[in-house]
Structure 1
Amino acid sequence: MFRLLRRTMEQKESPMRLREWLIAQIDSGNYAGLSWENEEKTLFKIPWKHAAKQDYRQNEDAALFKAWAVYKGKYREGRDRADPSAWKTRLRCALNKSSEFQEVSERSQLDISEPYKVYRIVEDTHTNTESAASSIKGKTSTEIHGQAVLHDNSNNSRVSGERPAETRLEFYTNNNVGTYDRPANVSVTLLTTWCPISDFRLLVYVFYHGKLVHKLITTSPEGCFILQGSAPVGNERIYGPCGAHTLSFPRLDALLLPPGIAEAMSRLLPHLEKGVLVWVAPDGVFIKRFCQGRVYWDGPLAQHTHQPNKLEREKTCKLLDINSFLQELHQHLQAGGPRPRYEIDLCFGEEFPDNNQPRSKKLITAQVVPLFAKELLEGLQKHDSELNLSLKSEAQK
């Protein structure tokens, strides 16, 4: 297996990208459990067994992760210490950071005897730029931190009933716009197909009985633990050892809280050991509950708006879908529809939403704000407003 890999490396003058390399490994048939999931070869399955499982076999279960480490020069057989967890983390991070792969969480199976993840190969927009330019009059190109979030290309499907856009928008996190050109009768068009985002930041607020006690902006693509105590160690069924931020609940003795409230919180906090992990992925915002204490939530994808939504322990839950957010944003800007929701509220130990008690009366709550959504909405609203003022001024001359 590794002899074949070395031959491949020697034959190529330049190293293969992750996409080329991974397709070659799938087609080779050398890795048990690594296979295509559809005839079009756009979905594939990667075995994802936790190293702590009793039936874990390093030679078989870590083979693909080891191969990637060898290919990238991060592991030298016979010279470096074997570290299956690090190998796995390296490939996982490469997949998460690549714009050419998107995890299909609903098809992944992580709680079975032979767990696996399913990924989709995303159309390479860079290679289709020229064909896109010839088939579309304009494009919407939104950038966060200088990397494209939304692209148009010839394969993109549009929102039903919309007409081709004549729009060019470059949007940055500091809200400075380099170009914003469009005819007066054309609104900003948001496409329903997109490139994975590159802004993984989360703005996290923690409240004690309605009072803000902590605020944090996370920058790690691994997300953020919100917890009491320490983060789970060595749990790889979802993310394994990772560089997630840790937001610990503030100590009660450092705050001025009513005696009854402080006592109730002191009983609740020990049950929030290990907490929750929330993160931004290419297709949305996700959360996983690790703590024994119950956690409830409200947000864009919540099943109920007037009764509690409970997070199941050890199960990944999708909180926001980027494609749905973009469609709602399109309707908001084009047709005056409702403002799209992107804030996510968490409530620890108490049912939520609760018609009988507002969030401000709950013992411990948190709000999670994906900054890519916040800045995209606010930026487009700002520039729509500026454009309308400019058009109004021109009309009055």
Structure 2
Amino acid sequence: MEKAGTNMHLREWLIAQIDSGKYAGLTWENQNKTMFRIPWKHAAKQDYNLNEDAALFKAWAVYKGKYREGRDKADPTSWKTRIRCALNKSTDFQEVPERSQLDVSEPYKAYRIQAETTTGRCLESPETESQVIIQTRSSSAHLRNTITHHPQFGCHRESEERDGRVNPRGLDHVHYCSNTGTPQMDSSATFSMFSPTPQISDFRVRVCLFYQDQLVVDVTTSTPDGCFILHGQVPLGNERIYGPCTAQQVPFPPPGVIHLPPGIAEAMGRLLPHLERGVLVWVAPDGVFIKRFCQGRVYWSGPLAQHTDRPNKLNRERTCKLLNASIFLKELQDFLKGAGPKPRYEIDLCFGEEFPDASPLKTRKLIIAQVANVMGSGRPCLHTHITMGEEEQGQSQPSPSTDETRTHL
């Protein structure tokens, strides 16, 4: 069994385990070695054998330094959850549900190994879509939302879905904004700029939600599994099979949290139900990632977006890389040396409306989520570094996040 502290990612590690033949049921599905099956027996089964059925999950926990033999209590459920969440989040793997078998005596799941890519472009996937058109009274622009079937996803807490409601547990840092003041940056938001390896070491995410350019939520997440930005429930899954996931939930507040014209409020009320299950945003050492689960369409702009003058759509059930840590930290170093422009590190997510606009006329969007990683290692915060760099260079550049002016209530 490999020792903790080595540097293989899950892709390389899993391929090595499959080729080793050490684990029963962990095999290639095709000769090209682009698809594999992984044993997935639940611990509640009568014939469950901890030493055999949990061996692979345990090995990954040991490899990542999350379990020390003889010192830590054996926890096969947590081991399985860790590797399942890693598979779901990774851009290297795509589950193949039609090839999986979970109701047989020796259940397994099938995964495809994705071709490696260095860009933030998401591969197109076929979607069966029907559209709901929402039109506000004050505008002739159509707001289109995707209606599609939602497959199961194994990151949820069953106790949070009673009576169709989500228990906002872990949201102590969320606050709705009012006219009493402007939210402040977390003073502990720091980052490692000159790290020996260009990796993100702080996995917190700052999320700001805007309704018609007015700030309504400002939250810094605190869980390494990232956060769901959503309305209503998280993606439905089977906790008995998949185990729990600790991703924090950042819910959209009701439209009544701020004053909106009647037509806008009605349009937003019709949009929100299509944002149930939302999007999952998380930070890994090499960047920021997202996966869309909601029925409503989601568009984005950011450092890795393919287009700056026309919409960038997030495909459902596809992991997309939003920010590359190596590129960002290199650009930041160049900026602070006066050798380059200010790097862009914030990502805008637009729910239900195409974004960025192809039209030169700027329109205020119903819902925008602004996402930024809080990179920390004990040095002054990222925002301070960029501001100081601007002052030193005598620059006065526009905000890296948007072409529009947003109002902080």
TM-score, normalisation: structure 2: 0.57
Distance 1:350 1:230 in 2: 22
- The answer to whether the 8 A contact 2:25-2:38 is kept is no
Rg comparison, structure with higher value: 1
SS of 1:296 mapped into structure 2: strand
- The answer to whether the 8 A contact 2:198-2:326 is kept is no
Q: Please say if 1:207 is aligned against 2:192.
A: no
Look up the match of 2:74.
75
Match among 56, 65, 70 for residue 64 of structure 1: 56
Match among 112, 115, 119 for residue 111 of structure 2: 115
Unaligned runs of 5+ in 1: 9-15, 37-44, 77-82, 97-102, 121-172, 178-187, 389-397
Give 1:1-397 correspondences, 5 Å limit: 17=4, 19=6, 26=17, 29-31=21-23, 63-66=55-58, 68=61, 71=69, 73-75=72-74, 84=77, 86-91=78-83, 105-111=90-96, 113=99, 114-115=110-111, 174=188, 190=194, 194=197, 196-234=199-237, 241-356=244-359, 361-372=364-375, 377-381=382-386
Q: 1:48 to 1:255 in 2, by over 3 A?
A: farther
Q: 1:92 to 1:213 in 2, by over 3 A?
A: same
String of CA shifts for 1:308-344, please: whole Å, max 9, x gaps: 0000001000000001112211322234311110110
Distance 2:307 2:265 in 1: 30
SS of 2:223 mapped into structure 1: coil
Q: 1:254 to 1:190 in 2, by over 3 A?
A: closer
Cα RMSD, aligned residues only: 4.7
Which one has a larger percent helix, Structure 1 or Structure 2?
Answer: 1
Unaligned runs of 5+ in 2: 29-34, 62-66, 100-109, 117-186, 394-409
Distance 2:54 2:355 in 1: 41
- The answer to whether the 8 A contact 1:227-1:272 is kept is yes
String of CA shifts for 1:263-293, please: whole Å, max 9, x gaps: 1011111111100000101110000000010
Q: 1:198 to 1:49 in 2, by over 3 A?
A: farther
Q: CA deviation at 1:364?
A: 1.0
Report the count of equivalent residues.
286
Identity score, percent: 51
Letter in 1 for 2:223: S
Where relative contact order (Cα < 8 A, 6+ residues apart) is larger, the structure is 2
Distance 2:211 2:221 in 1: 20
Q: 1:327 to 1:376 in 2, by over 3 A?
A: farther
Q: 1:48 to 1:287 in 2, by over 3 A?
A: farther
Letter in 2 for 1:107: D
String of CA shifts for 1:207-242, please: whole Å, max 9, x gaps: 111111111111111111000001124379xx9632
